[in-house]
């Protein structure tokens, strides 16, 4: 099937049936807690009865499986090489939560030709729409083209930052690019590693001032997560869960409009157009 025929097929297919909600957890810089929150938000949503699929959007350096303490011997590379089907690489983490690994350090995934991108997206789309209520993307940090594409296509882009000035500046840069290049209006901000709720609110307000002054983006404050040295210990032990953090994250999740109406343009249509624009 030619590339233009594949695009038409995907667009027609997206008009049929239901679409899950698509979330992306993203950040302007690494080390702010993005992957940690991807796992824990997925777990919280699963406890609410949602069927959740986590997709490692970092096609260059997959690390969700490292944090979970699992060593998958199958990933998207096997699918691209024709060694496995997509269904065969889906890993069940726990009840209602599954995971697709992109493979660790596999740079060719980030530079696939159009035909392979379309074929892969088509297969992921089929699984997502038939088996899951929510799809969570853990994106690469920074403003890489693939990150911006995923952030711009999802229903709910969640930006993770910390009080560090560089983290705030990088979060602003990511929001600005997605807004100005792709017209993304709404972002949801979660501030990690704060000393108090007041500090989290101040970080949000600083970011909000920048966005209001220099972009047309509207950022919504989800909440903040206090710094807890026990979380670092848990991550080292490959147990990325902490009772205090989960309680705060659950409150923040309550500020995310999961049950809002979908945009007219489907996630897969928009992602395809953004990826093929590269």
pLDDT at 236: 66
Q: CA-CA distance, 87 to 167, in Å (whole number)?
A: 37
Contact at 8 Å (CB) between 160 and 152?
A: no
Phi, psi (deg, nearest 5) at residue 187: -130, 150
Share of the chain above pLDDT 90, in %: 45
pLDDT at 118: 75
In this predicted structure, which of 118-127, 192-201, 254-263 has the lowest mean pLDDT? 254-263
pLDDT at 173: 97
pLDDT at 1: 47
Residue with the bigger pLDDT between 263 and 136: it is 136
Strands (E), the chain: 21-26, 52-56, 91-94, 97-100, 134-138, 156-161, 186-194, 218-226
Residue 56 has pLDDT above 90, yes or no: no
Residue with the bigger pLDDT between 73 and 110: it is 73
Residue 175 has pLDDT above 60, yes or no: yes
Question: Which CATH code of 3.20.20.70, 2.50.20.10, 3.40.50.300, 1.50.10.10 fits the domain covering 3-11+20-275?
Answer: 3.40.50.300
- The reported pTM is 0.85
Q: CA-CA distance, 28 to 208, in Å (whole number)?
A: 15
């Amino acid at each position: 099937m030619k590339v233009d025929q594949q695009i038409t097929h995907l667009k027609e297919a997206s008009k049929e049936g239901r679409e899950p909600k698509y979330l992306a957890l993203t950040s302007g810089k690494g080390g702010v807690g993005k992957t940690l929150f991807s796992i824990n938000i997925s777990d919280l949503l699963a406890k609410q009865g949602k069927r959740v699929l986590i997709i490692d959007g970092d096609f260059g350096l997959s690390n969700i499986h490292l944090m979970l303490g699992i060593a998958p011997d199958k990933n998207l590379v096997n699918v691209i090489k024709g060694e496995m089907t997509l269904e065969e690489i889906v890993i069940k983490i726990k009840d209602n939560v599954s995971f697709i690994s992109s493979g660790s350090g596999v740079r060719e995934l980030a530079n696939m030709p159009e035909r392979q991108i379309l074929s892969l997206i088509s297969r992921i789309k089929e699984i997502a729409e038939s088996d899951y209520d929510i799809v969570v993307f853990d994106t690469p940090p920074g403003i890489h083209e693939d990150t911006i594409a995923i952030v711009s296509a999802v229903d709910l882009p969640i930006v993770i930052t910390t009080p560090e000035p560089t983290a705030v500046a990088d979060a602003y840069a990511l929001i600005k690019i997605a807004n100005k290049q792709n017209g993304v209006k709404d972002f949801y901000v979660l501030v990690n590693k704060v000393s108090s709720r007041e500090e989290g609110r101040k970080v949000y307000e600083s970011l909000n001032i920048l966005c209001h002054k220099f972009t047309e983006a509207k950022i919504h404050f989800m909440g903040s997560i206090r710094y807890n040295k026990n979380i670092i210990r848990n991550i080292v032990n490959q147990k990325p869960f902490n009772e205090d953090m989960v309680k705060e994250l659950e409150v923040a999740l309550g500020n995310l409009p999961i049950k809002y109406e979908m945009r007219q343009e489907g996630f897969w249509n928009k992602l395809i157009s953004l990826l093929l624009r590269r």
